[in-house]
A and B are shown apart, each in its own frame.
Chain A
Amino acid sequence: MIALARAVIRDDLTFPDFATTVVSLFWAALEPSLAMARRYIIDDLKPNIASMFDEFRASARTLAGADPAFMQFEMEAASRASDVQRALDDAATWFTRADVEAVRRYFTLEQAVKIAVESAMRCQRAFEADLNINTQGDVQISADSLVFVHDVLFSALDNVNAHSGLKNPKVDVRAHADVTAGQLHIEVLSDVKGQNRITKEQPLADIRKLIDQRAIGTRTRKEGLTGFMKLAAVVHQSERGAIDFGFTAEGRFFLHVTYSLIVQSRPEMVSE
């Protein structure tokens, strides 16, 4: 995040611009944790509490027998169970940003990719890739999308650095915004030493299987071999998001990420 902020502030010539950008970046960095809190409240806490209320009412039913007062109790308990669920829905909304537009800063796709590559490469010390960058799409993306572009390129370049087996691999970075479909496509193609491919196929298949099974919740909290899974956790927040990776027929490694974008009435786009 610090490396990304450093790369970004080169374009910010005034302090207000810098502050807006950094606040946007911090919000973007916070978003995965906020999403996790929302999911916990809605998907875990709420069903568990509803189930506890049901058990409580069922037990009370057994104890009450034919007591006429039970109906009043039951009605009250059911009503309170509903109230608690609605309160939890409200609580989940606390973990969202209300003033999104107030902290928004936009970048062209070309700027975003350039900043992200620069920042990602700064984190890969002693790694010299032969980079070829190509962007298509006259769109603007928000700072939180920039963080995602950075995460994709950081994971991709870190992967190339660690696993290509080459000192100076050729890396093609392609980014393309499809405004109609509301998608941002990022593709990274890199050269790989032939024998490395054989040893990497199985770990890649394992990661692909975990992603397909959506079994990425706990694994993403660990370090190592989790970059693609962390990306999957983000892109799968939308049905339009996708991630694919593997080897091309020519033996190059590819990472293709599709990220969902919502087109606004302004020409800018925001992340979903």
Chain B
Amino acid sequence: MIESVTILLVEDEGPKRKNITKYLAGLGEEVTVVVARSVNSALDELDKSKPDVMLLDMSLPTFDIGDREPGGRPQGFGGIEILRQMALAEIIIPTIVITGYEAIPRGEAGPSVDINQMRTELQAEFPEMFQGILHYNSTYDEWQRELHRLLNEIGILGDIK
């Protein structure tokens, strides 16, 4: 049993990031949340240290949004880009996908996919990392219950003393 848990939260939208961080902070003082807001900053964080779990948005900009630059329009599958880079570098981190989309646009890469289809595809491509996908909507508490269940399944909550 470990005494602390580090969670990497990769999310570009401020209000959603704030709500998820607040929920994670409520799990206990043992939880440290590291935040990344883009594909590149997430990869930088993973270079620096390995979190115990990663919470990943699917639609992410390539770069962090600065004061004077847009950071790029969010890519429909910026989250998958991160997972592919991790797989290439053999960085295996249990990952839960949290998306605000019930149907995820692929852009020019093809038709959109719903969450169930996305679950199947992620499971097939990243079997060692992918732990689950959940739909986030701040109106309901379902996402919190589902996240709690998935963290419990991974064993993260059991690690928190």
Interface size range on A against B: 20 to 34
A58 CA to B59 CA in the complex, in Å?
Answer: 20
Interface check A162, CB cutoff 8 A:
no
Cβ–Cβ < 8 Å partners of A75 in chain B = 101-105, 112
Interface check B127, CB cutoff 8 A:
no
Determine if A78 and B100 form an interchain contact, defined as CB atoms under 8 angstroms apart: yes
Interface residue from B16, B59, B67, B137 paired with A57 (Cβ < 8 Å): B137
Determine if A58 and B18 form an interchain contact, defined as CB atoms under 8 angstroms apart: no
Cβ–Cβ < 8 Å partners of A42 in chain B = 14
Cβ–Cβ < 8 Å partners of A130 in chain B = none
Q: Which among A42, A46, A89 has the highest number of chain B CB atoms within 10 Å?
A: A89
Determine if A79 and B138 form an interchain contact, defined as CB atoms under 8 angstroms apart: no
Determine if A81 and B114 form an interchain contact, defined as CB atoms under 8 angstroms apart: no
> Taking A54-B139, A58-B137, A58-B139 as contacts, is the C-beta distance between A93 and B100 under 8 angstroms?
no
User: B residues 97-155 with Cβ under 8 Å of A?
Assistant: 100-105, 112, 114, 137-140
Determine if B100 and A81 form an interchain contact, defined as CB atoms under 8 angstroms apart: yes
Determine if B103 and A74 form an interchain contact, defined as CB atoms under 8 angstroms apart: yes
Interface check B44, CB cutoff 8 A:
no
Interface check B51, CB cutoff 8 A:
no
Determine if B13 and A82 form an interchain contact, defined as CB atoms under 8 angstroms apart: yes
A51 CA to B101 CA in the complex, in Å?
Answer: 14
Determine if A79 and B70 form an interchain contact, defined as CB atoms under 8 angstroms apart: no
Cβ–Cβ < 8 Å partners of B103 in chain A = 71-72, 74-75
A51 CA to B18 CA in the complex, in Å?
Answer: 12
A222 CA to B138 CA in the complex, in Å?
Answer: 35
Interface check B48, CB cutoff 8 A:
no
Determine if B15 and A50 form an interchain contact, defined as CB atoms under 8 angstroms apart: yes
B30 CB to closest chain A CB (Å) equals: 23
Q: Which among A42, A50, A98 has the highest number of chain B CB atoms within 10 Å?
A: A50
Interface check A244, CB cutoff 8 A:
no
21 A–B contacts from the bound complex (CB under 8 Å): A46-B14, A47-B14, A47-B18, A54-B139, A58-B139, A71-B102, A72-B103, A74-B101, A75-B101, A75-B102, A75-B104, A75-B105, A78-B100, A78-B102, A82-B13, A82-B74, A82-B100, A85-B14, A85-B15, A86-B73, A93-B68
Chain B residues close to A by CB (< 8 Å): 13-16, 18, 59, 65, 67-68, 70, 73-74, 100-105, 112, 114, 137-140
The 6 A-B pairs with the shortest beta carbon distances in the complex, nearest first, are A50-B15, A71-B103, A47-B15, A58-B139, A75-B103, A54-B138
